[in-house]
C-alpha cells in the first residue's frame, strides 16, 4: 500500500544533542511537509518542500532544518534540542500545493 512512513516512531535524545527524524513516501507526491504537534494542540507547520524548493515558515526556529535528497525521502534535523522541542513530529505529503495532505504516523520525540 502507498503510504507515508516515519522512522523512528519514538526517539529519545539528550538536551543539546542533535537528532534526525526520517520520513519516506511511496505516493510519489511532489510536496512534503513537516509539522510539530504538542500535547492537546493542533499540528503546527514548520516547513515544506515542493520538489526541491524549500519553504520555511516565518516562525520556525533556526534550530530546525530539513533536507530532501530525493522525491521519496525528507529529513528533519534538530540541531540542539531543548526541552521545549519535545513533541510529536508529523510528516505529510501532497500531490501538489493545495491538494489533500496525507500524514504519517509521527515520531514522538522526548528530550531529557
Residues that bind other proteins (CB under 8 A): 4, 6, 31, 40-43, 45, 48, 50, 55, 57, 90, 92, 94, 96-106, 108
Q: Shortest approach of other proteins to residue 90 CB, angstroms?
A: 5
Q: Shortest approach of other proteins to residue 3 CB, angstroms?
A: 11
Backbone angles phi, psi at 85, to 5 degrees: -90, -5
Cα–Cα distances (Å) from 100 to 26, 32, 41, 55, in that order, read 15, 12, 21, 18
Q: Give the separation between CA 88 and CA 80, rounded to whole angstroms.
A: 17
For residue 75 the three cell numbers come to 529529513
| Beta carbon nearer to other proteins, 75 or 103 | 103
Q: Shortest approach of other proteins to residue 87 CB, angstroms?
A: 13
Q: Give the separation between CA 100 and CA 10, rounded to whole angstroms.
A: 26
| Beta carbon nearer to other proteins, 59 or 62 | 59
Report CA 29 to chain centroid distance, whole Å.
15
| Beta carbon nearer to other proteins, 81 or 94 | 94
| Beta carbon nearer to other proteins, 69 or 98 | 98
Strands 107-111 and 10-13: parallel
Q: Shortest approach of other proteins to residue 23 CB, angstroms?
A: 11
Amino acid at each position: 500500500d502507498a503510504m507515508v512512513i516515519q522512522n523512528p516512531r519514538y526517539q529519545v535524545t539528550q538536551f543539546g544533542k542533535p537528532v534526525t527524524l526520517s520520513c519516506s513516501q511511496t505516493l510519489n507526491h511532489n510536496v512534503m511537509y513537516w509539522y510539530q504537534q504538542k500535547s492537546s494542540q493542533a499540528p503546527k507547520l514548520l516547513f515544506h518542500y515542493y520538489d526541491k524548493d524549500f519553504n520555511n515558515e516565518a516562525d520556525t526556529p533556526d534550530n530546525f532544518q530539513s533536507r530532501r535528497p530525493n522525491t521519496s525521502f525528507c529529513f528533519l534535523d534538530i540541531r540542539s534540542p531543548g526541552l521545549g522541542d519535545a513533541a510529536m513530529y508529523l510528516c505529510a505529503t501532497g500531490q501538489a500545493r493545495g491538494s489533500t495532505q496525507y500524514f504519517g504516523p509521527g515520531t514522538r520525540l522526548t528530550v531529557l
